[in-house]
Structure 1
Amino acid sequence: MDFHKLLYTISEALATEDLVALKFLSLEHIPLRKQEGIRDPEALFLALEEKGMMEEDNLSFLKELLFRINRIDILTDKLSSSREEMERELQIPGRAKVSQFRYLLFQLSENITTDELKSLKFLLIKELPKCKLDNEMTLIDVFIEMEKKGLVAEENLETLKIICEKIDKSLLKKIEEYELDRNVEMYITKGHGGQTEVSEVQDSLWPSQTASDSPGIQEETQQPDLYKMSSRPRGICLILNNHDFTKARSEVPKLQNIKDRNGTDADAAALRKVFTKLHFEIAEHKDLTAEQIRHTVHVYRNMDHRDRDCFVCCILSHGDKGIIFGTDGQETSIQALTTSFTGMNCPSLAGKPKVFFIQACQGDTFQRGVHIETDSTELGSSVEADARFQLECIPDEADFLLGMATMKDFVSYRSTTQGTWYIQSLCEHLEKSCPRGEDILSILTAVNREVSRKNDRLNQGKQMPQPSFTLRKKLIFPVN
């Protein structure tokens, strides 16, 4: 395609907010005074072409800009590139043309809520004119004004750090990560290159850091109190979704009253949506027998997870104490499933978080409403709570998190149309809280609070989820 025709086609695909972002990321190359007259992408592209930043045989800067603002669709469709290609390209020293400082500010603007922006403006009311802090001002606009006043610069982030600490510590964390990377880069640039020296810089910033010889633990030097969560994809999110229990009813006499799990597809859809946003690779399997569940888990246990930072498994089925049921009514031990991913059984996940969410009853107390069902097996009073069900479900090994929909001995509730109380609440809180940088245990506490307040109106039934964990660090799922 003709060069300028290609640029026009790309400009037509860009939204107004995309243009604002592109102009901001280009400030090191096109000064603010000249940007004031730019009203459309074509004008911006022309200005970049005049500066030698964009040529027919060199579109690397345009690709970088589109990658930075996350317009991967244009990058792929119009420029035959991809997210993975750009990630590799930008790791090459000197290849990136958008300054890390400028990109940091852009990331902050993408991760702030409306209420947080209002709070930030309020905290700056003595520093900036009121007319510069009206309701129409975006955070990018505010950053530009702060730069004009000398309140923020590549080597001066203290004011911004103080404000971010007050409104959202996840924003502060991004700034601190930037400062660490910058300090290490400067240290190397001054002639102190080499892995030993870089480690010494990091040790001086985080003296509590300790080394680990465990296989699979990577980049411990970056955030000793956080699990590394920067790979793309983050890892696999395995969803085992059992709906049809016809086979169980016909083949297992004691389960002849077990119901199909209507509404479970709403849970699976919610999990797919939220974990896709969190950059996981989704792998869903539906209506598995107990043997098929064990086989599927075996397959994912034997996969190579070295390039992934995490593993998530969501199981949606009927269950009892310490077990879940396959669609054939046969039992599978939850402990056997989780233990499959210990460091001994799955070395490529050693030292990395393994997260399991189990939507299934853990007892035979159930509720018989029309619109609200339980995920119990409805086994009846003749079934005993045998000792074989009393095994702990989570391995003794570190780095596991098990989120159970309900406590041992009790049922969990499911709407036949809207899904389960637990999974729906979990997904809502993940979607709301992960962009704010909240860790998973804080999120699960909020889920506990919400689900415990729900009530089965027919029988006044209640439900209390139960997380258990052997995590050694905070587990945060970043959205970027």
Structure 2
Amino acid sequence: MQVNSSNSTDVSLYKVSMELDKEELGDLKFLCTDHLQAGKGIDNAQDLFRELQQQHLDIIPELLYRIQRFDLLILLGKRKADMKQLLQQPGNSKISNYRVLLYNISKEINGEELGNIKFILQVAKRKLQDMKNFMDVCIDLERRGELGPDNLRVLLDVMTEIKRIDLKSKLERNQKVDDPAVEEPCPQQAGGSTTELQNNLNSIANLHRAVEALSMESTPAETSTISSVIATSSLPQHISTQTSSQSEARQTNSECIKVYKMDSKPLGICLILNNKSFPGTNLKERNGTDHDAERLTQVFGMLGFEIDKKDNLTVKCMEEVLLKYQKFDHNDCFVCCILSHGEKDAVLGTDGDLLHIKKIRSMFSGSQCCSLLEKPKVFFIQACQGHDSQRACQVMNHFPSSSSELETDAMTYSIPEDRDFLIGMSTVTDCVSYRTDKGSWFIQELCNCLEELCPQGQDLLTILTVVNQKVSEKHSSKKQIPEPRFTLSKKLIILPPSQRNLNS
């Protein structure tokens, strides 16, 4: 039986509409502002799609591309790469560059900055509650005739006042462009000619590609040696000499770093505290956390740990489990993964009470848990640490100066009781941590990297650096960067049991 193409399209659009949340609907409506009748009541994505179809506007794939819902493009028979290529061609975009610009800027404005913008613009009290994001502010300015494609002065002034010079520059660069292309990052020029800057960037890009290729085809030792040669030859001359000498110094120092003993069977306990439901509180269920727990069980089991998983514990119960392992006779290492809601420097039990990370750490210090003395104690915390959102910004590399050595006359051997800890936080202080129904960004990337890089002999701090990179590049506007905190005194290398047997 032949399927009506119109009916097939309607079914696909219905499936797309069911996947969009309230925030994403607001984003779509803003991007469509120039095509919608003022005051038109649109309560859901189906209403919006119906209105666009009535106007014969083939704009929905572009809308999904602009809000980064590339997964939904597939339902419409489109691909991200095809849409990118299409929109790079002049005249193909049906959403003005001005509208895309305001949308992208809105995603970089945090809650505090939004409040400052409202204050600067003297937004009436009756409108404060209606303006939930920067796009709402822009709509209000447009209605008052103070903002438009050819009139960005009010926004330029506001960005200057809140010290977002990066966004002011973006406005200035785009205010005369009429046909939008796919937005690409624009590096800040710190000095020197444009040609020199571009050459430097090209050299660094070539270096990254070469090292990436080497890491896949060579042994760790070969990669280290060859990549140093490539780096020296690829970088500009004034950087090359400095980099070469620093590389030699780092290689000499790395040879002196000892490695933790990691050859027991099992290596140790991997405790997983997985809090999903919080009955009797106003906290939402943590959908997707079971996927995190399953991946952690799989990966740490593969690495030779004995797994102990506990679900949905109150703070009191969490403390009881931790006290059990405080008194435990540990092997080479202890790993504890806590998946829950959180606040600043604390995680929540299912009863909504706080368990401070400082308290957890103190329970396993050298003076409180003797069997873990001089052994690595690893904690992975998947929990928000506040309510702020992180924003994208550019950073400059720097080389910190070395500190002077300390001397002591003490003759007895001792170590600080807080030594040999590694606490991998899913996000930085005061900021949120993202999770989907398929798991959290941090835990899923952590497990992927452990699974891939541990068999290669990479140490855990190097692996967590890769995790940082991957999580930080997850989304174009919603940003998250994990934060490892450590007092390790040796390299922590966790090889799978089969490889440990070969090396013994």
Q: Which range, TM-score by smaller chain?
A: 0.3 to 0.5
TM-score normalised by length of structure 1: 0.46
